[in-house]
Every structure is written in structure tokens, then in C-alpha cells.
């Protein structure tokens, strides 16, 4: 019975997040995209030029 509280919280988070994403998609023009980690890192560095590139991406 000690895990009962954790079970409720674990079930609540995905429910809230899926509701938030449904709201964003239905009521805004926001479109959520994702990609491979290397592409996301490259895009981050394009948008935030003051950020120093990690050694694995700088070469």
C-alpha cells in the first residue's frame, strides 16, 4: 500500500500532458515536431548562436 500514492501521480501526469497537447493542437496554430537528437542539437545551435557547440558537433 505504500506505492498507492505514487500510482495516482504516475497516472495523472500523462493524462494532463495529453490534454494540454490536445488543447494546443485544437486551439492554436502551433504544430509540434520532433526529430533525431543530432538534428535537434543542430537546430538549437542555429537558434541560439551564443551557445557553444558540444565537442561531438563542432568537428
Answer whether 32's CB lies under 8 Å from 24's CB.
yes
- pTM as predicted: 0.45
**Domain that includes residue 40, residue range:** 4-58
How many domains are contained in the chain? 1
Question: What is the DSSP code (8-state) at residue 54?
Answer: P
Residue 17 has pLDDT above 60, yes or no: yes
Please tell me the predicted confidence (pLDDT) of residue 5: 64
Residue 28 has pLDDT above 80, yes or no: yes
Banded pLDDT at 6 (limits 50, 70, 90): low
Tell me the residue ranges of DSSP E strands in 1-59: none
Determine which helix (DSSP H) or strand (DSSP E) holds 52, and give its type and residue range: none
Banded pLDDT at 22 (limits 50, 70, 90): very high
CA distance 13 to 40: 25
Amino acid at each position: 500500500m505504500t506505492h498507492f500514492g505514487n500510482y495516482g501521480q504516475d497516472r495523472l501526469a500523462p493524462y494532463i500532458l495529453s490534454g494540454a497537447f490536445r488543447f494546443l493542437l485544437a486551439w492554436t496554430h502551433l504544430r509540434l515536431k520532433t526529430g533525431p537528437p543530432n538534428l535537434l542539437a543542430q537546430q538549437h545551435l542555429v537558434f541560439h548562436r551564443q551557445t557553444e557547440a558540444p565537442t561531438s558537433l563542432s568537428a
